[in-house]
Amino acid sequence: MVVALGASPATRRMPNLIQNAKAGVYFARSLYNYKRGRAKPLSAVFVVCNRCNLRCKYCNSPFLKERELSLSEIDTLFTNLQHTGIFRLGLTGGEPLVREDIQEIVKLAIQKKFYLSMNSNLLLYHERPHVFDEVKFIFTSLDGPPQVHEKNRGKASQEGVVDAIIDLRRRKKPVVAICVVDQQDFTDIEYLIDLAERHDFKLHFQLRGSMPEVSTKKVLRGQLAPQTDNDAYRDVWRKLYMLKKRTKSIVNSKNYFEKILHWSDYHQFAQKTQNKSCAAGYGYIYIASNGLGYPCCLIKDTTQGIDLLTQNWIEKFHDKKPCNDCISGPYLEFNLLYKNPLASIVDLMAGYGRG
C-alpha cells in the first residue's frame, strides 16, 4: 500500500490521495489476477548493485558476485517493467548510494512514473542528498543505540544516519527504519521507539533470518543463531506487539505480529504447505543486479531467474517454488495483503498513515 506518513497539510493531501487511488487500482488488478492463479505484479524491487560500504554480520549482499546492469540496460529493464504493469519500484542493494550513477537511475525510474522507494543505510546521504529529491519513500536501517547497531553493522555504521533521517523528515520524506531483531534487549528497542517518536519517523521490526532450508549456497550469513531459544525470541516479539499498542511509530501490522507469534520454529524461515500459494511472483517480484527476475530474493538460488531485459515476467512466470509460506520481513506484509486484503489494508493504513 502507498500511504503517506505525516501528510497533514492540505497542499500535500491531494497528490497523496491520487497516488493512493492509483495504488488501489493497481492492487485491485493484481489481486484479481492472483485469485485466478495469474501473475500481475504491482511491485518490483531492483538491486542496483551488491557492492556496499558496510559488511553487516547478517547480510550476504556484498559477497554476491553478480554483474551490474549498465544505465542503458536499466532503461530497457524499466521500460519492460512499465509494460508489465509495475506500479511501485524499490531500489535497493547492497548500498544504492555507492553507485556513481544512482541519480541517473532514479531519473529513469521517475520518467517511467513508478512510485519510487529506496533502501539505503544513509551513510553517504550528506554527500548526495539530491539523490532523494524524487524518491517517495525511504527505508533505512537502525538496529538500536550506536553500540548495538555497530555490533551488527560495523564500526561507525550509525555515524550521521540519524541526522540524515532528520533531514529527510524536514524535506517531508516518509522514512521507515528497519530494525533486525536479534540479540537486542528491551532497552535497545525502547531507545529506538523514543528516537522515532522524537524525530517523527517509523520503525519496521524484522526477523533476522535466511533460508538454509531452501538454499544451496554455502555462505549464508543471515541465519538466526542455532542457540537462539524459540520461546525467548517469541517473547521479544510479544513485547513488541504490546508496544505497538502504545506507540504510533511501529508500522508492522497486527496480522504480521500474529503470524510471527504463531510460527513454531524461527530457525526455519519458510515452509511448503499444501493448498497454499504465497503472492511471490504474482503480486511482487525481485530483480537481481544482473537483471534476472525471481518471485522473491530468498529463493533466488533454487528457482530459475527470468531475464527481464529480454523476457516478460507475466509470460514466463510459473509457480514452481520451494516454499509457499514464510515469515520473511520484506514479504510477510505483502502476503498478508493478498491473503486477507481488507483487514490488511485497514491495518497498514493504521500503521503507515497515522502520525
Ligand X SMILES: C[S@@+](CC[C@H](N)C(=O)[O-])C[C@H]1O[C@@H](n2cnc3c(N)ncnc32)[C@H](O)[C@@H]1O
**88 in Cβ contact with 115 (< 8 Å):** yes
Smallest separation, CB 288 to ligand SF4 (Å): 14
Binders of ligand X among residues 197 to 226 (CB under 6 A) are 206, 208-210, 222
- Here the cell at position 273 is 504447505
**Closer CB to ligand SF4, residue 1 or residue 91?**
91
**Closer CB to ligand X, residue 33 or residue 141?**
141
Smallest separation, CB 330 to ligand SF4 (Å): 12
What residues are paired with 178 via a beta bridge? 141, 204
Which partner, ligand SF4, ligand X, none, binds residue 222 by CB below 5 to 8 Å per kind? Answer: ligand X
Which partner, ligand X, ligand SF4, none, binds residue 55 by CB below 5 to 8 Å per kind? Answer: ligand SF4
Smallest separation, CB 222 to ligand SF4 (Å): 10
Near ligand X by CB under 6 A: residue from 50, 80, 117, 119: 119
CA 2/CA 78 separation, integer angstroms: 20
Which partner, ligand SF4, ligand X, none, binds residue 62 by CB below 5 to 8 Å per kind? Answer: ligand SF4
Binders of ligand SF4 among residues 97 to 136 (CB under 6 A) are 121
CA 80/CA 89 separation, integer angstroms: 12
3-state helix/strand/coil string of the chain: CCCCCCCCCHHHHHHHHHHHHHHHHHHHHHHHHHHCCCCCCCEEEEEEECCCCCCCCCCCHHHCCCCCCCHHHHHHHHHHHHHHCCCEEEEEECCHHHCCCHHHHHHHHHHCCCEEEEECCCCCHHHCHHHHCCCCEEEEECCCCHHHHHHHHCCCCCCCHHHHHHHHHHCCCCEEEEEEECCCCHHHHHHHHHHHHHHCCEEEEEECCCCHHHCCCCCCCCCCCCCCCHHHHHHHHHHHHHHHCCCCCECCCHHHHHHHHCCCCCCCCEECCCCCCCCECCCEEEECCCCEEECCHHHCCCCCCEECCCCCHHHHCCCCCCCCEECCHHHHHHHHHHHCHHHHHHHHHHHHHCC
**295 in Cβ contact with 286 (< 8 Å):** yes
**Closer CB to ligand SF4, residue 206 or residue 255?**
206
Near ligand X by CB under 6 A: residue from 33, 84, 117, 140: 140
**Closer CB to ligand X, residue 95 or residue 333?**
95
Smallest separation, CB 178 to ligand X (Å): 4
Binders of ligand SF4 among residues 67 to 96 (CB under 6 A) are 93-95
Query: How many chain residues bind ligand SF4 (CB under 6 A)?
Result: 12
Smallest separation, CB 224 to ligand X (Å): 9
Near ligand SF4 by CB under 6 A: residue from 61, 184, 206, 249: 61
Binding flag, residue 156, ligand SF4 (CB under 6 A): no
Which partner, ligand X, ligand SF4, none, binds residue 324 by CB below 5 to 8 Å per kind? Answer: none
Smallest separation, CB 24 to ligand X (Å): 27
CA 292/CA 303 separation, integer angstroms: 11
Near ligand X by CB under 6 A: residue from 92, 117, 184, 289: 92
Contact residues toward ligand SF4 (CB under 6 A) are: 52, 54-56, 59, 61-62, 93-95, 121, 153
Contact residues toward ligand X (CB under 6 A) are: 52, 58-59, 61, 92-93, 95, 119-121, 140-141, 178, 180, 206, 208-210, 222, 329
